[in-house]
Amino acid sequence: MVKLAGTHSFDAPKSEVWEALLDPDVLSRILPGCERLDKTADNEFSGEISIRVGPVQGSFNGKVTLNDIDPPNGYRMEIAGQGRPGYVKGVGTLRLEGDAPTTLHYDGDAQLSGRIASVGQRLVDSTARSLTRQGLQSLENIIAARLQPAPAESEAGDAAATPSNGTQAATETGAAPGARGSAPPESSSGSQAQPEVAAPSTMEVGINVARDVAADLAKEVQNNGNTRKVLYILAGFAALVWMWRQLFGRAK
């Protein structure tokens, strides 16, 4: 059993965070190891995620269902997936509070079976926390990029930068120069071309997981005193060396 709970603050309007949490393209980029995520129904997605937990690596094919949707405050998420590493089934809730800044509260648990459940609870918990942290950071980066103003077109030239009185008056009233009617304003940032924020690579995700696992081991050393210090250091060092070789061995 894996349990996760926590909060994350976004310096963004609540509506922007909510919109991102329902966007399949955004979700596919914030889920570490996500190979694909397709919307199959109004509140259902199917996808494939490649993940590594210690010595166990493989892909999961599964389904994500959103229930109890309360726009723009939150929803309940159910996941179910299976693959060569085993089977995972979980449920969690996401709740938004406040508005610019907006706080995301998350709480959930998952049941694991098969090879992935045999690697040890401490390693599974550390990996889950690391993947959650990386996903939330990616979500924060995407939302921040969405809120950036659209860059001015380079073809506008000095004439557009310093309009004449007639052009300026037309612009202030919302009409294009020479046009008889007025153009409707853009309703939201979603109608503009959004800057692309690349998802972290598999290598980056793996290195971050190794770093976070080592940090958790260091906390264990500090909390348990010197009697277990050598054991934890050796175990952490061995895990880091193994992960490093696996990651860079595949990269070559």
Per-residue pLDDT tens for 78-113? 999 999 888 999 999 999 999 999 999 999 998 988
pLDDT surpassing 50 at residue 119: yes
Q: Exposure string (b/e) for 63-80, b if CB count within 10 Å is 16 or more?
A: ebbbeeeeebebbbbebe
Q: What string of H, E and C letters represents the secondary structure of 162-173? A: CCCHHHHHHHHC
* Structural domains present in the chain: 2-120 (3.30.530.20)
- What are the pLDDT digits (tens) for 22-66? 998 898 888 877 888 999 998 999 999 887 777 777 888 999 999
What pLDDT sits at residue 186?
A: 42
pLDDT surpassing 50 at residue 141: yes
Query: Which residue's structure tokens are 């909390």?
Result: 223
22 class by beta-carbon count within 10 Å (0-12 exposed, 13-18 middle, 19+ buried): middle
Q: Among residues of the chain, what percentage have pLDDT more than 90?
A: 34
Beta-carbon contacts of 17 under 8 Å, excluding residues fewer than 6 positions away, are 10, 72, 96, 102, 104, 143
pTM: 0.67
pLDDT surpassing 60 at residue 214: yes
